[in-house]
Amino acid sequence: MDAKLLNPFIQAAVEVLKAEVDANVSRGEISMQKSSLTSDDITVLINLIGDVYGVVMYGMHKNTCLNLVSKIMGQDFIELNSLAQSGMAELGNVISGRATIRFSETGYKSNISTPTVLTGNGVEISTLDFPRIVVPLDTQFGILTVHLALRTKTPGETYNPEEFIPLINVPPSQNVF
């Protein structure tokens, strides 16, 4: 994975956390991981599709999530109900959206998917052959860890449907590609 994809996300995360919850963010040590990610209490998963493609995950402890959501929504959350999950998903959405705007400024256009929220720690999330860059962001609310498993295509390169079928052969009559 290209390190130039990293900065837009970190900048976006710092800006959004500053604006939404007035957080003082300090960046932890960046690491590159090839193994699958063992999920934290809450993981917000957002896919990118386009010139920059792959998956971004925001992992955090339950308390961090509750602190952040309580601050954003202006009411105290004591359990991780659907409203709290929705708030956290929205935070991931805003950070990813802002990062993709920065990508598009450099010519890489991509879209983000709707967020998916995974709760429950200890399951493994595999990004297959995409290595992940892991950046912990330390705030006064707790640590938010950003996992990036992204790749780039040449900007404007047309979409190549052949990417779909390396393993499974669909017979010609059903071959809709």
Q: Which is nearer to other proteins, 11 or 86 (CB)?
A: 86
Rounded Cα distance between 68 and 10, Å, is 17
Least separation in angstroms between CB 128 and other proteins = 6
User: Which residues lie below 8 Å from residue 59, measured CB to CB, with a gap of 6+?
Assistant: 37, 39, 40, 42, 43, 144, 145, 147
Q: Which is nearer to other proteins, 11 or 47 (CB)?
A: 47
Least separation in angstroms between CB 122 and other proteins = 6
89, 91, 99, 144: residue in contact with other proteins (rule CB under 8 A): 89
Closest by CA position to 132, among listed 21, 6, 13, 41: 6
Alpha-carbon torsion angle 114, 119, 124, 125, nearest 10 = 10
Span from 19-27, 69-77, 117-125, 133-141 in contact with other proteins (CB under 8 A): 117-125
Span from 13-21, 66-74, 136-144, 161-169 in contact with other proteins (CB under 8 A): 161-169
Tokens of 97: 């959206």
CA distances from 98 to 35, 102, 129, 172 (A): 28, 7, 26, 42
Rounded Cα distance between 140 and 161, Å, is 46
Instruction: Tell me the site size for other proteins, rule CB under 8 A.
Output: 47
118, 131, 142, 153: residue in contact with other proteins (rule CB under 8 A): 118
Least separation in angstroms between CB 114 and other proteins = 6
Q: Which residues bind to other proteins, rule: CB under 8 A? A: 36, 39, 45-50, 53-55, 82, 85-86, 89, 111-130, 159, 161, 164-168, 170-171, 174, 176-177
